[in-house]
Amino acid sequence: MASKKTDKSEKALAAEKEQFVKLQLQSVSKSITSAEAPIKEKYGRKIILGTHKEGGAVTFWSHAVSLPLSSNAILSWKFCHIVHKLLRDGHPNTLRDSRGHTAAVGQMGTLWGNLHDRYGHIVALYTKLLCIKINFHLKHLEIPPNLETPEEVLDKAIAIDINKVFDMTGEVMDYMEAALKLQETVFRQMESNSTSSTTAVGQCRLAPLVLVIQDCGPLYHFLVKLLFKLHSRIPPDALLGHRERFREQFNSLTQFFERARGIEFFKTIIQIPDLPNEPPNFLRAASLADHVKPVVVQNERISYDDDTETQLDFGEGQYQMYYGYNQYDPPSDIPEQRETEADALRKELEVVKPELELIKVEAQRAVVQLKTQVNMLESELEDQRTHKQMALVENERLRMEVENLRAQTVVAGDAGSRAQTAQIHFSRLKEKHAELVSRHADLMRKNTEMVKQVNSSQQAQEDLLTAKQQMLVERQQLRQDNSAQLEAQRAEIERLKHELATERAEMSHVHNALQSKEKAGDQLGSVLVGLQAEKERLLRTVKDQEAEIASLRQAAQLHQSILQQERDRHQREMTALHNQLQEQLCRGQEQQLEMEKLRRELEEKRAEVLRAQSTLNTKETTGDQLSSVLVGLQAEKDVLLRSVREQEAEITNLRQASQLHQTTLLQERDRSQREMATLHNQMQAKLSQDSGVFQQKLQDEQFSLLQCAVVEAEGIVLDAVAKVDDPLHVRCISTPDYLINRAELTLASIDKMQQSHAVYLRNNDASGLLRSVTQFSHLIADTIVNGAGTAHSAPTDQADRLTDNCRDCATHCLQYLKELKMKATLPRADPTAVRYTVQRILNQGQDLRPKGADVRKEELADLVDKEMAATSSAIEDAVLRMDEILSQARRDTSGVKLEVNQSIIGSCSDLMKAIHMLVMASTDLQRDIVESGRGAGSDKDFYAKNSRWTEGLISASKAVGWGATQMLESADKVVTDGGKYEELIVCSHEIAASTAQLVAASKVKADRGNKKLHTLQQASRHVNDMAAVVVTSTKSGQMQIEDKNSMDFSGMSLIKLKTEEMDSQVKVLELEKQLANERVRLGGLRKKHYEIGGIPMDSPPENAVNSFDSSLPTVFPDPPTMELPSMDVFTLDPPRFEQLRLDPPGPDLLAPEPAKTSSKRTSIFQKPGLKNPFR
């Protein structure tokens, strides 16, 4: 009993493992595609959850190694994006499981870096970043790949040997530099290509930069802490290169964050933090306290891309993995242990999440507070600057007024000198002069006080300016090094000296002014003595000058009045000046407290200046020592110059000796040449003897290399044959076009093999044959593998023949390589059999190519417009023809027949109008799709790029036009009694199916929220309703006609009735047999139809989805059923809907039957190897 349970449990585990691997493979294949669009989040989440459930990334890497990364750069780009996601958010063992694939990732990046591809350069940079990331975190296991390290862990990591911290700093800088180089290249490519971030193409490039932003924030924090640690232990001069490199990375990171912050794509995903305006000052240890860790916050987003597909559910109760996928993990036999660990981890995560959110909120609050403080300080600084400007303006105004007063004093002195000519007015002039002198003295005193006040105000402003400069110095200390700080201190010393010199100059100026006033007083005393003498002289000449005195009296009176006016004006101005000075004193008192605070800070700075002065003196002492050393070096230079002159003399002597020696050497050379000629002849004879032996050895070595190459080629071919027989290879599907390409290249390589073989037989040179064998083996193996992949999507008969030809090709190839490997059979090795089998594979691939491949992609746009216009014209003609048929029926018929015909023709006409509205809506939607999807290209480029979708539209439009024509012919036949009612029913079904195909083709490229798509869907529902009305009216009319022609058995006898019953039973049996035969015939017709259209009937459904165009839907409805009159309900195979998804028909719409007509539909949307999506 226990053994049975064990077997059952092992089977369940195997089934669950297979389901898990299948879902992981599906997620990998759907996330890493060649479409130039961002990775869907749901598939990335499935892969990440798979690593957590598995306990590693072994399953992911087992699927990833089979991806054709070297064939498509977009695949490589998305692969790098998925790997980056797994390293950040996957299971911790993902880093360990990715170690062995680092070399392959690096080789892939090197490959794409050497190719000129639009994604090649950024793929190379991304692989470099991933390799650096993996190696860094493998070396420093305490730092997880998501870089979310607690501060205590980080402090513990850097509290080690300073040499290790130095190495770690360089590694983190390389890490940051690789990330910044990647983002810079991505943005440069988008700018050069004018790619918008709102398009799928732009988001395909920008999506990985979200992870880069999440990495750069913690890396910047690590660098800041590491550099502060280094500056605390190592002299600053030794870290100059680190500071310069960090400054460059800081500027680049700031530009990156600013650019990303302005892109809407990043705003919806993450919140990018703000960096400081200047990098930290590592020379000042206190700056570490001002550092704020940048935190990248991811927004809460709702995923709208989830569909109804099977989701990975790793909840409790489903897919309990009792086995370990990770080959590095130790085996565990207790499933409950994993559940317990998972619960514990979940609880810890729930506990940590609120704390993390609280920390983030506190960090943001601290940042806001710091910004507020900075803004307040800047506003205060602006106010101080404003006050300073006002004080300077006031000082200048006062200085101008003082100059005016001095000029007026000079004018008054001139007026006093004139009074010397008149003794009568001398005393008055003397009194006025004394009064003016006293006023001038008062003004000078006031001016002195004013100057003192202005000087105090100016000193206050200078103190404020000093404080401002000190604040600026403190803000700029983050980017200054030791030498810059020393220069700032020297500038401060010079500024203080300059201020002291300015104050001394002002004091000397005031002292000189006082001396000049004293000298003026002495001069006035001497002038009084002279005036007394002049008075006596004037008394003697008074009589002679009475007339002149009178005139002078008048002039003196006039001048006195002028002086009185000037005195009054000066008095008013001095009063206003006094008031202004009082206001200035009030403002100065208000600023006094602030100046006291700033003065204390100035004293502290002066103390620092003194310390800097002592340091400067030390430096000067060192400079004196260097000067003494320089003097010694100058003396040594003189000694060396004398030595050089002596050596030049010796060189001259040696040159003469060398010329003599050269002559001797020429003679010796001639003799040596003669001896060399003799030796050369002897050597040639020796080489001719040994050349035969060497040539034979070379040929043997080349043949050995050829044998090795052939053995390697056999291994490649055998590996290809093993893939053909491998059950897992059934999932791999190729296309006939790619198979044809491989086969043609293989035929060319066979020709090259024959040429190289002939060259080898002719001159025994195996170099060309070695290259040809390597190329031939890879191409023949590629042809075999792709042939088998093409056979997986081909019809059964063609698939078997193609597989057999692939095996025959491998057999002949191995035989041919075997002949090349043996020296005896090498001359007669012939690849003709291989060429023949490859040619057969090529022919089969050409047979499997799409029938419509002869249409050039450049003609698709014109063909779409032509087909849509033809369809619209055909429907309009059908509507007009319906009206004509109805008019003719009214003329030719009457009674019940007329009523039936009117009902049928009216419903058919309404159906045609509804189809016409549908075609118009489809045309509008198609134009909208082209306008929104073509970008900078033309319409033809869009149609050529989406050729499969274009071919679907063409096929759908042809089907609609054909259905309208058939409906018109069937209605005409019914009215003229030349057709059957069933033809109308079948035609209505066919039209409904064709219009549904047109709707499905239009919905493939349309957005969900498109209003024109909603209009198209309403038109489609209206067509279904009208088709149901046609079916209903046709059945109703048929019943009315049959009721009119009902049989009357009242006049028959019993024997007659029995005979008629037997005849009826015989007819029923015949009809049933005919029905069975017709069903078989219908099935054969549909199978042939599918084969001609490129849809094999016997292929498995899952291959149909895999081989179908990725732009078309992969979920299809069940086929509708058909009900025949007076027969049992039975199910028919669905009609061919041109490989497009159809909406399920309404309950009133019956299954379509092929119309009874000889015309056939033709479509370019036919491709061998495609499976029927409706099976």
pLDDT, one tens digit per residue, over 394-416 is 666 777 777 777 676 666 556 55
Place of tokens 């009874």: 1156
pLDDT of residue 490: 66
Under the banding of pLDDT at 50, 70 and 90, the label for residue 539 is low
The percentage of the chain sitting over the pLDDT mark of 90, rounded to a whole number, equals 13
Q: What is the pLDDT of residues 1059-1074, one digit of tens each?
A: 877 888 888 888 888 8
Residue pLDDT, tens place only, 837-876: 999 999 988 888 765 444 455 566 667 777 777 777 877 7
**Span 563-585, pLDDT tens digits:** 677 667 767 767 776 777 677 66
pLDDT-derived band at 255 (thresholds 50, 70, 90) equals very high
3-state secondary structure of 1122: strand
User: Does 1017 have pLDDT greater than 60?
Assistant: yes
Question: Is the predicted pLDDT of residue 1055 greater than 50, yes or no?
Answer: yes
pLDDT higher at 913 or 1142: 913
d(CA 1169, CA 1088): 15
The pLDDT of residue 427: 66
Q: Which helix (H) or strand (E) element contains residue 813?
A: helix 796-821
Lowest mean pLDDT among 127-136, 514-523, 693-702: 514-523
| Segment 1078-1112, tens digit of pLDDT | 888 888 887 776 666 544 433 333 333 333 333 33
Confidence (pLDDT) at 847:
84
CATH architecture of 855-1044: Up-down Bundle (1.20)
The reported pLDDT for the residue numbered 310 is 38
In whole angstroms, give the CA distance from residue 1076 to residue 1073.
Answer: 5
Please give the share of the chain, as a percent, with pLDDT higher than 70.
68
> Is 500 a residue whose pLDDT tops 90?
no
- Which whole number is the average pLDDT over 472-488? 60
Residue 472 reports pLDDT greater than 50: yes
DSSP H or E segment with residue 613: helix 546-725
Work out the angle at residue 184's Cα, subtended by the Cα atoms of residues 179 and 186, and round it to the nearest 5 degrees: 95
CA–CA distances in Å: residue 258 to residues 181, 254, 918: 16, 6, 49
Residue 1163 clears pLDDT 70, i.e. is over it: no
Query: What tens digit of pLDDT does each residue of 821-837 get?
Result: 888 888 888 899 999 99
Range with top average pLDDT, 48-52, 605-609, 1153-1157? 48-52
Give the chain's mean pLDDT.
74
Per-residue pLDDT averaged across 211-224, rounded? 92
Q: What is the mean pLDDT of residues 312-318?
A: 36
The pLDDT of residue 1143: 37
Tens digits of residue pLDDT in 632-645: 777 777 777 777 77
pLDDT tens digits, one per residue of 950-1000: 777 777 777 777 877 787 788 777 777 777 778 878 888 888 888 887 788
Question: pLDDT value at position 877?
Answer: 79
Model confidence band, residue 114 (pLDDT cutoffs 50, 70, 90): confident
What DSSP state is assigned to residue 938? -
**Beta bridge partners of residue 1122, listed in sequence order:** 1130
Q: Which long-range contacts (CB under 8 A, 24 or more apart) does 423-432 make?
A: 423/534, 423/535, 423/538, 423/539, 423/542, 424/549, 424/553, 425/552, 425/553, 425/556, 426/531, 426/535, 428/556, 428/560, 429/556, 430/528, 432/560, 432/563
pLDDT digits (tens, 9 = 90+) for 502-529: 766 766 665 666 566 556 556 655 655 6
Confidence at residue 839, expressed as pLDDT on a 0 to 100 scale: 92
Query: Any bridge partners for residue 271, and if so which?
Result: 297
Q: What are the boundaries of each domain within the chain?
A: 12-298+310-333, 392-623, 698-849, 855-1044
Maximum average pLDDT range among 681-685, 733-737, 779-783, 1054-1058: 779-783
The counts of H helices and E strands in the chain are: 28, 2
Question: Tens of pLDDT along 707-760?
Answer: 898 899 999 999 988 888 888 877 788 888 888 989 999 999 999 988 988 888
Is residue 1130 classed as helix, strand or coil in its secondary structure? strand
- For 415-437, write each residue's pLDDT tens digit: 555 545 556 666 666 676 666 66
Looking at per-residue confidence, does 365 or 985 come out higher? 985
Residue 601, pLDDT above cutoff 50 = yes
Residue among 1147, 1146, 1134 nearest 1175 (CA):
1134
pLDDT, residue 211, reads 93
The Cα 1122–Cα 1101 span in angstroms is: 23
Average pLDDT in the 326-350 region?
Answer: 59
Angle between helices 120-139 and 162-193 (to 10 degrees): 160
Tell me the whole-structure pTM to 2 decimals.
0.34
| pLDDT category of residue 180 using cuts at 50, 70 and 90 | very high
Confidence class of residue 618 from pLDDT cuts 50, 70 and 90? confident
- Spatial contact of 1152 and 1142, defined as CB atoms under 8 Å apart: no
Question: Cα 338–341–347 angle (5° rounding)?
Answer: 140
> Structurally, what CATH architecture does the domain formed by 698-849 represent?
Up-down Bundle (1.20)
Q: What are phi and psi of 310, to 5 degrees?
A: -65, 125
Residue 359 — very low, low, confident or very high, per pLDDT cuts 50/70/90? confident
Residues 6+ positions from 415 with CB-CB distance below 8 Å: 429, 559, 563
